[in-house]
Every structure is written in structure tokens, then in C-alpha cells.
Amino acid sequence: MSFTLATLKTAVQDYMESSESTFTTQLNTLITEAENRIFNAVQLPVQRKNVQGTTTISNRFLATPTDFYAPFSAAVITSNKYYYLDFKHPSFIKEYSPTTTVTGRPKYYSLLDDTAFELSPIPDAAYTVEIHYLYKPASLTAGSDSGTTVLSTDYPDSLLYGTLAEAAVFLKEPPESVANFEMRFKESLAAMKNLSEGRKQRDEYRYDALRQGVS
């Protein structure tokens, strides 16, 4: 089973036995809320990305990718070698390089906000930095009626029951109905976590083995 945007909307209307315009006009919002709950609860392997950026001399900040959600690692690449940066609290960064006179190849990084990393020491050259990060995929509602996403094709139960749980609250269904959809949603999330965490452990084992060989 998998869903397009159109077939998911149809399924939700069929389950809830409602096609009222006040309900159907909110379906995109309900789907998006379900997606947000899923991505807040589970990290999927498909959400990992690698990008490269370049530091600016004497500038401690490096912009995050436009679709950035959370960091996994950062590494300075120089002379064909990877130098992995340690992730630190912003206060550590300020204490380690309190003035612009402390420069060099960055060893540490922190997340200033959603738009920028803060580096320490402050770069003394234009370094290539590779960021391995978690991103939030586009919503199913951002595409066409025939469009699909990784959730709608690989994890359709979670998307369906998450949307139904939101729909039941919106329609003010009886508490037992809301609880039933919420239970089904949580069961599907548990299955997602078991699968994704198994892949994560495998990937981390491979990643660590590869990283140990980098000099």
C-alpha cells in the first residue's frame, strides 16, 4: 500500500465518513501536522545529506544548508585530509576564541541558530567544510495530487493514522475514536523506529569503521 496526495485525502475522508468542505479544506494542514509529528519522533536514513561549504577568512560564521534540521558532523577538508570538528555548546566557542585575534584551522563548531554555525578558532583561510546533517523532506502537500513522498510510499500506515488522529480531533470525534487512531499511529511509529534505528546502527558501524581509517 502507498498513497499519493489524492488517494490519502480520499482514504481519510472515507475513514472519517466526511466530505464536508470545512473538513476537506483542512486536509493539507492535517497531513502536514501528521508529517511533523512523524519527523519529530523518528529519524529516517533518507533524511541524511552531505554538502560542502567554504569558510571566510576572519569570519567565525558558516551558513547552514537551506533545508537544515540538525547536525551529525562537520569536517574541514585540507590537503585531501578530513579534520572532524567537535560539536560544542556556544558558550565554549566564545570562551575558546573570545576575540578575533584567535584564528586558525577550526577545531570546534556550535549551532548559533537555524541559519548559521559558529566556528572556533576563527578561520584563518578559506577552508572547505563538509557538513553531514539531517534535513526535513518536503511535505506531500507541497506537490501535485499524484505526487508521493518517502512517508507516503515507505511508511503509509504512519502517515495515514497520523492524519486520521489529527482529523479525529478536528472533527471532535468521541474520545474513544481519537484514542483508537492515536494508538494505531503510535504503533506504526514504533515499527518505524525499530526499522530506522536498525539501519542507523548499521550505518553508524560502517561510518565509524570508515572514519577510523581517515588520517
pLDDT in tens, 169-184: 999 999 999 999 999 9
pLDDT in tens, 65-85: 999 988 999 999 999 999 999
Residues 127 and 141 in one domain: no
Mean pLDDT (whole number) for 136-163: 96
Which one of 84, 106, 135 terminates a domain?
135
* Burial profile 71-101: b = 16 or more Cβ within 10 angstroms, e = fewer: bebbbbeeeeeebebeebeeeebeeebeeee
- Structural domain includes residue 214: no
| Whether residue 54 is found in the same domain as residue 72 | yes
Query: The domain containing residue 151 runs over which residues?
Result: 5-44+137-207
Tell me: do 131 and 51 sit in the same domain.
yes
Domain check: are 190 and 119 in the same one?
Answer: no
- Of 72-76, 120-124, 206-210, where does mean pLDDT reach its minimum? 206-210
Is pLDDT of 121 > 90?
Answer: yes
How far apart are the C-alpha atoms of 45 and 196, rounded to whole Å?
Answer: 7
